[in-house]
Amino acid sequence: MKKNSVRVWVGCGIFCIAAVLLSVWYAVTFNDSRLVVLMDFESYAFTPRDLPMIVSILLACVYVLALFIRLFISIGKKQRDPAASNTTRRLNPKLGLLGLLGFLGFAGFWTYSVTGDVSPFVFLLFFGFFGFFYEGKMSGTFMDERFRENAARAQLTSYKITFKITLIVLIILCRGKLFGSMEYTLMAVIIVLSLTLALGIFLQEYLLYRYDHDDHMEEGEA
Amino acid sequence: MALFECRLKKYRQLKELTQEQLAAQVGVRRETIMRLEKAQYNPSLKLAIDISRAVEAPIEELFIFD
């Protein structure tokens, strides 16, 4: 995307957010918070005062939809461009720090004890973002047939490891309840699945880097 | 490690091509040419043909399998 069009898109986004905020303020102040708080739509009757909320929400929806379409078009264009599709995507290795978000997953222990909710365990998946560190190191690399071969090898190895760990853990867990509780067992399944998927995501990038890097090391030594 | 003998280096030098130049001609990275010359990488048929055309030598002369 060109800088000008990015500015237009960001501007439209800011306008949509401002419109939604203004209409929420209007609805809360002058319209008894209609369409802001939950309401029964079966008995809903339109009043002209609802218009700002309806228009701003419609605007925001159209903006999000247009943004998605624009993104799909630009991804398609990139894939058709041979120069762009033959090199790995440009990425800053510092994005690997996003892997630290995986620690959010441990919040699941707290939410489980307070509300019984186990969904935060899924955040353990974010540990996979550590792979961005190695992907960033390989960014902008020309993808020749040896690179693609190494990528396929790395992918296959990571899948094998992930499936093996998942299978072993599931067999162990399915043999009996963890601490005599089915709930704990299912929690352990969610944790293990999230962690193994994260490992799979990370390993793909790490192994690819290692295969390519080890090749270079050998060449340097010779 | 080597499953075959590769004589690419000899023919490349005969054509007075650097690894970088040959890599650019056949559309691979220089490291791939390095690995090929050490017979540490088994190329695809397409790459083998491209290389044999680039150095103007028959494939069976470049890559010798036992």
Q: What's the average pLDDT block by block, 10 residues per block, for chain A (222 residues)?
A: 79 91 91 82 83 92 92 79 76 91 92 88 93 92 91 95 93 78 86 94 94 66 42
Rounded to two decimals, the ipTM of the complex is 0.85
Q: First and final CA of chain A: distance in angstroms?
A: 44
What is the spatial distance between Cα A46 and Cα B12, in angstroms, rounded to a whole number? 80
A107 with A185, same domain: the answer is: yes
| Full DSSP string of A23-62 | HHHHHHHHSTTTTTS---GGG----GGGHHHHHHHHHHHH
Q: Which one-letter amino acid corresponds to residue A66?
A: A
Using CB atoms, which residue from B28, B38, B40 is nearest to A145?
A: B28
Q: Choose among A122, A82, A76: nearest CA to A102.
A: A122
- Domain stop point among A40, A65, A85: A85
Q: Identify the pLDDT of residue A35.
A: 82
A81 with A142, same domain: the answer is: no
Q: For chain A, how many structural domains are there in total?
A: 2
What is the spatial distance between Cα A14 and Cα A166, in angstroms, rounded to a whole number? 44
Note if the pTM is more than 0.90: no
pLDDT mean by block of 10 residues, chain B; 66 residues: 81 92 93 90 92 92 86
CB contact under 8 A, B34 and A219: yes
- Domain stop point among A32, A61, A85: A85
A182 with A124, same domain: the answer is: yes
CB A52 within 8 A of CB A35: no
DSSP state of A178: B
Q: Identify the pLDDT of residue A222.
A: 40
A43 with A134, same domain: the answer is: no
Q: For chain B, how many structural domains are there in total?
A: 1
Q: Does B25 reach chain A within 8 Å, measured CB to CB?
A: no
Q: Identify the pLDDT of residue B12.
A: 93
**CATH, residue B51:** 1.10.260.40
CB contact under 8 A, A142 and B41: no
Residues of A with CB under 8 A from a CB of B: 141-142, 144-147, 215-216, 218-219, 222
What is the spatial distance between Cα B1 and Cα A57, in angstroms, rounded to a whole number? 64
Q: Choose among A141, A144, A140, A137: nearest CA to B34.
A: A144
**Structure tokens of A66?**
């247009």
A134 with A79, same domain: the answer is: no
A104 with A155, same domain: the answer is: yes
A17 with A105, same domain: the answer is: no
The dihedral over CA atoms of A83, A85, A88, A94, expressed in degrees to the nearest 10, equals 100
Q: Choose among B33, B34, B26: nearest CA to B51.
A: B26
Return the residue of A nearest to B47 by Cα: A145
DSSP SS3 for B15 = coil
Which residue segment(s) compose the domain that B20 sits in? 4-65
